[in-house]
């Protein structure tokens, strides 16, 4: 009757809970993928069907294949020890003996009951296993006041009281009957059968204590079985004394670190971990276990909470480096504006003490924007795997930490999960750890999410979710170790949900009682996990009180000594907080090795070779579409004629890098073909399904690989991912292309928080290239503008300061936060891509790319503009008639991008080629002051006009205006010609579009009147 107490305890703990669906008629159902008989839920044991079962049983005895495989399995289990063997000479004899042994020979009614009861017990077992079952009643909340799944519902099919046995048609008298266990459970250990009482007890132990498992939605039997085995097998959660002592020591470090900070800097924001101190041993367990299984490099992303503790006790950053950051007088030694201490990253190579193997740990710097770092971590992890040839993720892995509110609320989490199984984006499994303190700032979970758990988002990718009560450190360690094994075995994501509490307010200055009075009353009473665990270990003799106190004293001493040393640090080197060092790229001081950029052209032979491959199908028996044949023929023709269009220029740039061993990666929506069907980097066999060919990978025997990959329909996630990929190495050209430029705004956080300001905050270079199709072509308010004004507004070059350096061309690039270009020729596009890698440092490059110009007959370049010795032109000056007699020029029109072609055409129409010069700005930012000054000086008597096709409050005008003024020292006006200001990026009316174009072209060439 002991077990009855257990039932009672469970009920008491949950309070009296009403069952929502008392459904006696629904006696037993088989839900699930494997054991369905014909439908998903068949009430096959309802009275009238029991004969059917019996009939089936006899049929099975004759021939197991004559019944559904679920029945086959069931009868095999029920008949365990007498498994069907087709080679047995006498089946009838066998049947008879089975019936005899079960006392059924003369009483078929008994057979029915036996089968029913076994089925009932199977259903009962499954009820505990299946999602939305056992974990519902697991005791997950250390505070004991909340339901981790926001629901006080106790599933009616769990045996929380004796009368619930009736749900299965079982009775108290059945408790001591022995039942055959199905192969879908491991609760028996070495035993095949157990009493019903023991079955329920073991299920309770596995599923209803401090661990709540969600995995039955995984549609892979092997994986489900694996999890069941890990958690159901009796005695799995046994730890050696040594392991318990290590765990205690780690908890000491975690807790005392927080205490130390609280003592020394009580009024500073630290975003402490108190209430989830177990996170430190949890991470260490994951890392130890992963290292044991061969992982050499772990890349981590995490929010504010507990970050300093992770740096100190997981990454093992020197404590004085952390402590000195609390000193307000600390001066920054590096360029850039830096960041607060709980955002900085870290990279550390060390020996893992548990395994004695080398391990590299990297914690990525991140902005305050929660979860934004997730895809960045994944991209960096993918890149590290790629460069090591670690295609299966056996050496490099990522760990992502999340807060409960952010994990549920931030869409980028979903976007990141959806990358997890895509061939060009998978990192072969990420371990997610949620610090589920059941609060987000001041908001209760009920107001913060609509799903039962904060982790439900992970279900979309079939990731198992292990909820665990964070006040049970051993349960946490076990779960983490299984999570690491899961990742190593199946190379799929897994989530560990640490259900904990937040001892203080959101930060240490916040008063949580304003908003969560009852919760915090309980929290104030809550005994810290360290004390609870130490008491337990002292009580069972694993450690003595003295040993425990010594451990504390030892760590406190370490902190004190580091604190003393930290006072000597007067200067903060943000460089020491770099998460992704690039060994050998910079000199020892972290400076570029040179301050020059070689010419970006390549040899004619190379151009011809790449052109030829780009026009070919370099594999045999591969049938491409007739339309594509035409495109390839046109490419060949261009190559013969020594010209390139946009697509071919891009091919030339990418191909040239591959020869030099530079990896090129192009990712984004539909990039393989190209949104505008111009690129065709992946050829598809028209006759063999999924057979493809990437000619770019057939350029040379020895070449760097080219990756071109259509991404999921995400911008935030995918751009973050590519940014992370670009972080891993400076020797790769990593490009992300937006479908249309305006879609970049759903990735705004990555652009603002990382790309624009990443170097200033974290002294970290990044050479990512953004390709943003842009142009006002009458396609409506969307699809028209990549919003260049936003990028320009965030450019850090000073509008009022004329740069004076002799090396302005390169120093401007070095000092800027990013480069914004709008190339008007394919050759210049080729050069700017080439320059990106030939520069001795890395800067993000934003390229406004064309749409209609992709096919514009004039938008072609000759090989002459790309051969060795040629280079990127920041400005393309007027070089026609006007340039030959500059003093006669009445007007200089400055412009950028596609409008140039409209202007040239109009000028020709109006026969104004001598009077009007048109100069193109190809690199808009950093602003080519020097070259434009030459142009302005060349035409002293001319009006100066800035012409753009974008509306006045968008485009480039607000950026270029003050800079032009700086060049002329405010002595000459710069006139604006273009569309009126507007709220939408473009009109939805084609006619209005054309009329406004006509209007501004007329104004541009009306030499009489500008005012
Ligand atoms: C994208 C974003 N929105 C809002 C915030 C402001 N903010 C900082 S912490 C926080 C609550 C986070 O709650 P949770 O994810 O549960 O983490 P916890 O602080 O509880 O550890 C909020 C709303 C933010 N940092 N990032
Ligand atoms: Mg929280």
Range 592-611 average pLDDT: 96
User: Does residue 93 surpass a pLDDT of 60?
Assistant: no
Q: Which ligand places an atom closest to the C-alpha of 302?
A: 1
Q: How confident is the model at residue 546 (pLDDT cuts 50, 70, 90)?
A: very high
How many CB atoms lie under 10 A from the CB of residue 182? 21
What pLDDT score was predicted for residue 588?
Answer: 86
What pLDDT score was predicted for residue 156?
Answer: 76
Instruction: Dump pLDDT digits (tens) for 59-75.
Output: 777 777 776 666 676 66
Q: How confident is the model at residue 1010 (pLDDT cuts 50, 70, 90)?
A: low
User: Does residue 38 surpass a pLDDT of 60?
Assistant: no
What pLDDT score was predicted for residue 92?
Answer: 41
| Ligand 1 atom having least distance to the Cα of 369 | 26
Instruction: Dump pLDDT digits (tens) for 158-168.
Output: 887 777 888 88
Strands (E), 364-493: 396-403, 430-436, 465-469
d(Cα 450, Cα 441) in Å, to the nearest integer? 17
From residue 432, give the alpha-carbon distance in Å to each of 295, 721, 727, 774, 932.
Answer: 16, 17, 21, 38, 52
What pLDDT score was predicted for residue 1011?
Answer: 53
Range 619-634 average pLDDT: 97
What pLDDT score was predicted for residue 135?
Answer: 64
Instruction: Dump pLDDT digits (tens) for 379-392.
Output: 999 999 999 999 99
Range 523-551 average pLDDT: 97
Instruction: Dump pLDDT digits (tens) for 713-772.
Output: 999 999 999 999 999 999 999 999 999 999 999 999 999 999 999 999 888 899 999 999
Range 93-111 average pLDDT: 53
Q: How far is the CA of 500 from the centre of ligand 1 (A)?
A: 16
Range 704-712 average pLDDT: 98
In this structure, what token pair is assigned to residue 575? Answer: 């460089």
| Ligand 1 atom having least distance to the Cα of 305 | 21
| Ligand 1 atom having least distance to the Cα of 409 | 15
What pLDDT score was predicted for residue 77?
Answer: 63
d(Cα 236, Cα 687) in Å, to the nearest integer? 53
Inter-residue contact 741 to 670 (CB < 8 Å) = no
Q: Which range among 282-291, 500-509, 616-625, 996-1005 shows the weakest confidence by mean pLDDT?
A: 500-509
Q: How confident is the model at residue 186 (pLDDT cuts 50, 70, 90)?
A: very high
At residue 411, the 3 state secondary structure works out as helix
Q: How far is the CA of 482 from the centre of ligand 2 (A)?
A: 24
Of the residues 307, 401, 405, which should be mutated to test ligand 1's pocket, given the most ligand atoms within 8 Å of the CB? 405
Which of residues 310 and 324 earns the better pLDDT score? 310
**Closest C-alpha to 63, from 105, 92, 37:** 92
Q: How confident is the model at residue 574 (pLDDT cuts 50, 70, 90)?
A: confident
Q: How confident is the model at residue 108 (pLDDT cuts 50, 70, 90)?
A: low
Inter-residue contact 993 to 831 (CB < 8 Å) = no
What pLDDT score was predicted for residue 20?
Answer: 29
In this structure, what token pair is assigned to residue 4? Answer: 């009855």
Closest residue (by CA) to atom 13 of ligand 1? 440
Instruction: Dump pLDDT digits (tens) for 783-824.
Output: 999 999 999 999 999 999 999 887 888 999 999 999 999 999
What pLDDT score was predicted for residue 74?
Answer: 66
Q: Which range among 197-206, 430-439, 604-613 shows the weakest confidence by mean pLDDT?
A: 197-206
At residue 940, the 3 state secondary structure works out as coil
Residues with Cβ within 8 Å of residue 896, at least 6 apart in sequence:
822, 824, 920, 921, 922, 924, 948, 956
Q: How far is the CA of 445 from the centre of ligand 1 (A)?
A: 12
Range 861-870 average pLDDT: 98
Residues with CB under 6 A from ligand 1: 305, 368-370, 403-406, 435, 437, 439-441, 502, 506
Q: Which ligand places an atom closest to the C-alpha of 366?
A: 1
Q: How far is the CA of 591 from the centre of ligand 2 (A)?
A: 41
DSSP 785-798: ---HHHHHHT--S-
What pLDDT score was predicted for residue 163?
Answer: 79
Q: How confident is the model at residue 146 (pLDDT cuts 50, 70, 90)?
A: confident
What pLDDT score was predicted for residue 335?
Answer: 67
What pLDDT score was predicted for residue 69?
Answer: 64
Sign of CA dihedral 606, 612, 614, 617: negative
**Closest C-alpha to 453, from 432, 431, 474:** 432
Task: State the alpha helices, DSSP H only, in 79-213.
Answer: 91-101, 108-129, 134-137, 196-207
| Ligand 1 atom having least distance to the Cα of 403 | 15
Q: Which range among 99-113, 489-503, 655-669 shows the weakest confidence by mean pLDDT?
A: 99-113
In this structure, what token pair is assigned to residue 234? Answer: 């009796």
Residues with Cβ within 8 Å of residue 48, at least 6 apart in sequence:
none
What pLDDT score was predicted for residue 96?
Answer: 46
Inter-residue contact 314 to 280 (CB < 8 Å) = yes
Which domains are assigned to the chain? 110-209 (1.10.287.1150), 241-577 (3.40.50.970), 604-774+822-865 (3.40.50.12470), 876-1005 (3.40.50.11610)
Maximum alpha-carbon separation in the chain: 119
Average pLDDT, the chain: 89
Range 574-596 average pLDDT: 87
What pLDDT score was predicted for residue 134?
Answer: 60
Closest residue (by CA) to atom 23 of ligand 1? 441
Q: What is the DSSP letter of 299?
A: E
From residue 901, give the alpha-carbon distance in Å to each of 283, 773, 859.
Answer: 58, 17, 8
What pLDDT score was predicted for residue 101?
Answer: 54
In this structure, what token pair is assigned to residue 1010? Answer: 């500008």
């Amino acid at each position: 009757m002991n077990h009855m107490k257990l039932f009672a305890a469970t009920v008491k703990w949950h309070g009296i809970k009403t069952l929502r669906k008392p459904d006696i008629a629904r006696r037993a159902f088989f839900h699930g993928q494997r054991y369905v008989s014909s439908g998903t839920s068949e009430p096959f044991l309802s009275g009238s069907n029991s004969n059917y079962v019996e009939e089936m049983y006899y049929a099975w005895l004759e021939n197991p294949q004559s019944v559904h495989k679920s029945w086959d399995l069931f009868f095999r289990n029920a008949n365990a020890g007498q498994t069907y063997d087709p080679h047995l000479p006498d089946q009838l004899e066998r049947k008879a003996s089975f019936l005899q042994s079960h006392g059924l020979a003369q009483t078929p009614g008994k057979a029915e009951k036996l089968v029913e009861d076994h089925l009932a017990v199977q259903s009962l077992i499954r009820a505990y296993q299946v999602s939305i079952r056992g974990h519902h009643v697991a005791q997950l909340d250390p505070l004991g006041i909340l339901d981790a799944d926001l629901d006080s519902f106790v599933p009616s099919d769990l045996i929380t009281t004796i009368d619930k046995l009736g749900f299965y048609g079982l009775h108290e008298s059945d408790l001591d009957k022995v039942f055959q266990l199905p192969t879908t459970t491991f609760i028996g250990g070495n035993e095949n059968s157990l009493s019903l009482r023991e079955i329920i007890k073991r299920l309770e132990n596995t599923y209803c204590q401090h661990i709540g498992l969600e995995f039955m939605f995984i549609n892979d039997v092997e994986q489900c079985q694996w999890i069941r085995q890990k958690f159901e097998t009796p005695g799995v959660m046994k730890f050696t004394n040594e392991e318990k002592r290590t765990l205690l020591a780690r908890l000491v470090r975690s807790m005392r670190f927080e205490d130390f900070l609280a003592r020394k800097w009580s009024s500073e924001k630290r975003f402490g971990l108190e209430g989830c101190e177990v996170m430190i041993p949890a991470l260490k367990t994951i890392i130890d276990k992963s290292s044991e299984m061969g992982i050499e490099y772990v890349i981590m992303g995490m929010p504010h909470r507990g970050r300093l503790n992770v740096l100190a006790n997981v990454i093992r950053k020197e404590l004085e480096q952390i402590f000195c950051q609390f000193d307000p007088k600390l001066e920054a030694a590096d360029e850039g504006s830096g960041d607060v201490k709980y955002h900085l990253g870290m990279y550390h190579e060390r020996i893992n003490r548990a395994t004695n193997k080398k391990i590299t740990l990297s914690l990525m710097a991140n902005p305050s924007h929660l979860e934004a770092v997730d895809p960045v971590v994944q991209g960096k992890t993918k890149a590290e795997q790629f460069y090591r040839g670690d295609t299966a993720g056996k050496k490099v892995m990522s760990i992502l930490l999340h807060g409960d509110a952010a994990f549920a609320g931030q869409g980028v989490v979903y976007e990141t999960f959806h990358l997890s199984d895509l061939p060009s984006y998978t990192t072969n499994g990420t371990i997610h750890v949620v610090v589920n303190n059941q609060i987000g700032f001041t908001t209760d979970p009920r107001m913060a999410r609509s799903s039962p758990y904060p982790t439900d988002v992970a279900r979309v990718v079939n990731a198992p979710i292990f909820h665990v009560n964070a006040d049970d450190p051993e349960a946490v360690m076990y779960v983490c170790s299984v999570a690491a094994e899961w990742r190593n075995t199946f190379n799929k994501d897994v989530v560990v949900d640490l259900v904990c509490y937040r001892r203080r307010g959101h930060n240490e200055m916040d008063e949580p009682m304003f908003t969560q009075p009852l919760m915090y009353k309980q929290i104030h009473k809550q005994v810290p996990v360290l004390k609870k665990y130490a008491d337990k270990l002292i009580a069972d003799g694993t450690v003595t009180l003295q040993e425990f106190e010594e451990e504390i004293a030892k760590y406190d001493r370490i902190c004190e000594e580091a604190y003393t040393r930290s006072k000597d640090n007067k200067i903060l080197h943000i460089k020491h907080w770099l998460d992704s060092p690039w060994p050998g790229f910079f000199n020892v001081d972290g400076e570029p090795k040179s301050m020059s950029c070689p010419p970006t052209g390549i040899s004619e032979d190379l151009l011809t070779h790449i052109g030829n491959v780009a026009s070919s199908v370099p594999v045999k028996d591969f049938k491409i579409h007739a339309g594509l044949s035409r495109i390839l023929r046109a490419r060949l023709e261009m190559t013969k004629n020594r010209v390139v269009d946009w697509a071919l220029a891009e091919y030339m740039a990418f191909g040239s890098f591959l020869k030099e061993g530079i990896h090129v990666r192009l990712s984004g929506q539909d990039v393989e073909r190209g949104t505008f069907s111009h690129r065709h980097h992946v050829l598809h066999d028209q006759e063999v399904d999924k057979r493809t060919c990437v000619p770019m990978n057939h350029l040379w025997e020895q070449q760097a690989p080219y990756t071109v990959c259509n991404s999921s329909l995400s911008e935030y996630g995918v751009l973050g991912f590519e940014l992370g990929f670009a972080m891993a190495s400076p020797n790769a050209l990593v490009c992300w292309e937006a479908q249309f430029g305006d879609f970049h705004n759903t990735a705004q956080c990555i652009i603002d928080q990382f790309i624009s300001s990443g170097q200033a905050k974290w002294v970290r270079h990044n050479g990512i290239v953004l390709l943003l199709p842009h142009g006002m072509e009458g396609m409506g308010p969307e699809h028209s503008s990549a919003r260049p004004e936003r990028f320009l507004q965030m450019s850090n070059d000073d509008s009022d300061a004329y740069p004076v350096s002799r090396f302005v061309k390169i120093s401007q690039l070095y000092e800027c936060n990013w480069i914004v270009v709008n190339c008007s020729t394919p050759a210049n596009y080729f050069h700017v891509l080439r320059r990106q890698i030939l520069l001795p440092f890395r800067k993000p490059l934003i390229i406004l790319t064309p749409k209609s110009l992709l096919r514009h007959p004039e938008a072609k370049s000759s090989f002459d503009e790309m051969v060795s010795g040629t280079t990127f032109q920041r400005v393309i000056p007027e070089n026609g008639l006007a340039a030959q007699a500059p003093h006669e020029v009445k007007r200089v029109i400055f412009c950028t991008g596609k409008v140039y072609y409209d202007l040239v055409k109009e000028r020709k129409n109006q026969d104004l080629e001598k009077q009007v010069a048109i100069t193109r700005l190809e690199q808009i930012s950093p602003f080519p002051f020097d070259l434009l000054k030459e142009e302005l000086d060349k035409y002293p008597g001319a009006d100066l006009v800035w012409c753009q096709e974008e509306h006045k409050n968008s485009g480039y005008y607000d950026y270029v205006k003050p800079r032009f003024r700086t060049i002329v020292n405010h002595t000459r006006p710069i006139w604006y010609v273009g569309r009126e200001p507007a709220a939408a990026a473009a009109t939805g009316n084609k006619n209005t579009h054309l009329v406004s174009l006509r209007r501004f072209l007329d104004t541009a060439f009306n030499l009489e009147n500008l005012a």
